[in-house]
Structure formats: structure tokens, C-alpha cells
């Protein structure tokens, strides 16, 4: 599969089967995440892999949309603001940018492995921080539900034409 085919395959999945994710696939995806670039190579990210139990239910409850209840696994992408590069001129913190690059590596690697993902950013990050016992510097940036898509879960991918995105 070429890169364009992979990018076209990757979409936001909101309906998952109950099939468990093989550890080998999860390990492969996390290795792809580990290889993501970051500003000045600081790699200010951490990822919590939550597969079951009370912690999974608690983190799911930080997002108030019922489709998340059927997700077999959640990855919480976190950024450490104390470890991130800050631009010298204006102090801009690149934590979110670095975590976003790593998360897209995660989503593309998952798609390559036949798994579905969805970025979830509209969640109670403060509550998620409490559940995971994170420091104030460590921010939960996104929840990434991951699993095998249900047979009817692949949404149509709508994109603007090229002439609408070029300046």
C-alpha cells in the first residue's frame, strides 16, 4: 500500500467490534509512535494504554458521547509541558504540536494494521489527569479509541477540493 492509499484508508471510527487487539499489533503501532518527530527531538509525550477494568470505564466517562462505551481499548495521549520545546522569540509551547504528530503516526499505523481510531479532544482533561495520577505539567491532550471497526463503521471521507485549501 502506498502512502496516499493509507491516508485515504485512515478515518474516524466511532463503532468498534469486540474483537481484541493482538499485542503484536499494539506493539508495532507504539513503535511507530516512538519514531515520530518532535521539536528539537524533545519527545514530550507519554501514552497510557488502557484495555480494561475500572480505569477504562473511568476514562471513558470523561467523554460524554455514548459511542465510546463500546471501545475495547483507549490510548490517552499526554504531553509534558516541562519537557517540551518552547520557541525562544515568544515562548510558544510546542507540546500540542508534538503530541499531534505522534498521534497521527498512531492513527496511520493503526489503519495500516486494520484497526480504527478516532481523535477525541472534547473530554474532561482535568478529570482524566486525576484518574491517571498525572502531574500538573502532564496534560492529557487526546483520547484515542482504538480497535477493530465494526462492519458498518467506515464513514465516508469528505474533503475540500485542492483549490479550496491552497492560498
Model confidence over 17-45: pLDDT tens digits? Answer: 989 999 999 999 999 999 999 999 999 99
Q: Is the pLDDT of residue 153 over 80?
A: no
Q: 54 in a domain, yes or no?
A: yes
Q: 122 in a domain, yes or no?
A: yes
Q: 124 in a domain, yes or no?
A: yes
Q: Is the pLDDT of residue 64 over 80?
A: yes
Q: 1 in a domain, yes or no?
A: no
Residue 26 is part of which domain span? 17-150
Q: 11 in a domain, yes or no?
A: no
Q: CATH number, domain at 76?
A: 3.40.109.10
Query: Are the beta carbons of 141 and 121 closer than 8 angstroms?
Result: yes
**pLDDT tens, residue by residue, 118-142:** 999 999 999 999 999 999 999 999 9
Q: 156 in a domain, yes or no?
A: no
Task: For residue 151, name the pLDDT band (cuts at 50, 70, 90).
Answer: confident
**Quick one: cell of 166?**
491552497
Total tally of structural domains belonging to the chain = 1
* Nearest alpha carbon to residue 147 among 52, 18, 58: 18
Q: 166 in a domain, yes or no?
A: no
Task: For residue 73, name the pLDDT band (cuts at 50, 70, 90).
Answer: very high
| Distance in angstroms (rounded) separating the CA atoms of residues 13 and 61 | 18
Residues in contact with 116: Cβ distance below 8 Å, sequence separation at least 6, in sequence order: 11, 13, 16, 110, 146, 147, 148, 149, 153, 154
Which bin fits 133, alpha (ψ -120 to 50), beta or left (φ > 0)? left
Q: 155 in a domain, yes or no?
A: no
Amino acid at each position: 500500500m502506498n502512502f496516499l492509499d493509507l491516508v485515504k484508508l485512515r478515518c474516524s471510527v466511532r463503532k468498534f467490534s469486540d474483537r481484541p487487539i493482538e499485542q503484536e499489533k499494539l506493539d508495532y503501532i507504539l513503535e511507530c509512535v516512538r519514531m515520530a518527530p518532535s521539536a528539537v527531538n524533545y519527545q514530550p509525550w507519554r501514552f497510557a494504554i488502557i484495555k480494561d477494568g475500572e480505569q477504562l470505564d473511568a476514562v471513558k466517562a470523561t467523554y460524554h458521547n455514548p459511542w465510546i462505551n463500546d471501545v475495547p481499548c483507549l490510548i490517552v495521549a499526554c504531553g509534558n509541558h516541562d519537557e517540551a520545546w518552547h520557541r525562544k522569540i515568544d515562548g510558544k509551547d510546542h507540546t500540542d504540536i508534538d503530541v499531534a504528530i505522534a498521534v497521527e503516526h498512531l492513527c496511520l499505523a493503526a489503519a495500516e494494521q486494520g484497526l480504527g481510531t478516532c481523535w477525541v479532544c472534547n473530554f474532561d482533561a482535568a478529570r482524566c489527569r486525576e484518574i491517571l495520577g498525572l502531574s500538573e505539567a502532564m496534560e492529557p491532550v487526546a483520547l484515542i479509541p482504538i480497535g477493530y471497526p465494526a462492519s458498518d463503521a467506515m464513514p465516508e471521507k469528505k474533503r475540500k477540493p485542492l483549490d479550496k485549501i491552497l492560498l
